[in-house]
Amino acid sequence: MIALLTGKLAYKSPEFIIVDVHGVGYRVQIPFSTYFSLPETGNEVSLNIFTHVKEDALNLYGFRSLAEKTFFQLLISVSGVGPKLAKDILSNIQVEDLARALVTGDLNRLSAVPGIGRKTAERLVLELKSKVMKLDISSTQQGTIPAPPTAISDDVASALVNLGYKEAVVKKALAELDVAADASMEDLLKRALKVLMK
C-alpha cells in the first residue's frame, strides 16, 4: 500500500499529476488545494497518498497535508461518497472550514459545495460530527475557526505566480476583491483570473 510518494514532478494539471520516482511515473489524482501548492514541473514533490483499490483499477490520491488525507478517508467512509466526490469536496472547501461545518451542523455551507445535496450534507454531519470532534484540528470542537481569508489569498497568490503572473500584478488584482470569511480557494482563484484577464 503506497502511503507517501516523493519524486520529480513530471506533469501537473488541476485533475492529476505524474510523479517520476526513479524512472517510474505514478499518476496521482489531486484536489485543487494540492494543485495550487505544487512546485514547477521538474522540481521535487512529496505527497501523502491514499491508495484506492477496485476490482479493475488501482487509483492513487495525493494530498499536501495529512489533514486533507484524513478528511478524504473520513468522507469516503460515508455511504454514497466515493473517492471522486470526496476529492471534489476537498477541491471546494478548506479542511478547517469543512471541519467547522461538520461540527456545527452547518447544512447550508455543506450543501453549497458542488456535488453535495441536502440529504448528503445531513448524512455527512450525522456520520462524521463525532469523528471530527476527536481530531486534533485547532479548536474545531468549538466550531470557531473559519478558513482565514488572508491564508486563502496567500495560496491563490502563490498559485497565480506559479502560473506565470507577476507578483505585483497578482497582489493588485487580489486587493480589488472582497474576500469573504467562507470564500473557497477555487472561487477566489476564478475571480482573480477574471480580473487579470481583463
In the chain, helix, strand, coil percent, each to 5? 50, 20, 35
- Does the domain at residues 66-142 carry the CATH identifier 1.10.150.20? yes
- Domain ranges (residues) in the chain: 4-63, 66-142, 149-196
The CATH number fitting domain 4-63, selected from 2.30.40.10, 2.40.50.140, 1.10.1060.10, 3.30.70.270: 2.40.50.140
Provide Rg for the chain, Cα atoms: 17
Angle at 34 between CA 15 and CA 56, to 5 degrees: 45
For 130-146, what is each residue's pLDDT tens digit?
888 887 554 333 333 34
Phi and psi at 27, nearest 5°, equal -90, 120
pLDDT per residue as tens, the chain (198 positions): 788 999 999 999 989 999 999 999 999 999 988 998 899 999 999 999 999 988 788 899 999 888 899 999 999 999 889 999 999 999 888 898 899 999 999 999 999 888 888 999 999 999 999 888 887 554 333 333 344 455 567 777 777 777 777 878 888 888 888 766 566 777 788 888 888 776
Q: Which of 119, 138, 141 shows the shortest CA–CA distance to 130?
A: 141
